[in-house]
Amino acid sequence: MPQRTVTIASRTGLHARPANLFVQAAAAQDVPVRIRAGDRSAPANSILAVLALGAEHGAEVTLEAHDGPGADAALDALAALLARDLDAEEPAGA
């Protein structure tokens, strides 16, 4: 099972706007992805489940996908997103 471990860069952690951007990106992937913080795991395309993880700024999370076409690319894209400070970026269309 491919995995990526990444540190949450957003100042507010994986909450509100950063969580929404992450969930939208996860939902757009061709493979299902799960996110794990500590001993808790959630489907990456569920905003409520992702928010419930309570991943703070600086926390390490692990992204997981089943082997298959597109799994590595999906994990790379989502890990790169979480490694950015999404709070500091301008919203699309602003």
Please give the positions annotated as active site. 15
Distance between the two ends of the chain, CA-based, in angstroms? 38
Q: Which residues contact 89 (CB under 8 A, 6 or more apart)?
A: none
Alpha-carbon torsion (27, 63, 47, 94), positive or negative? negative
Q: What Cα–Cα distance (Å) separates residue 92 from each residue in 45, 84, 86?
A: 20, 15, 11
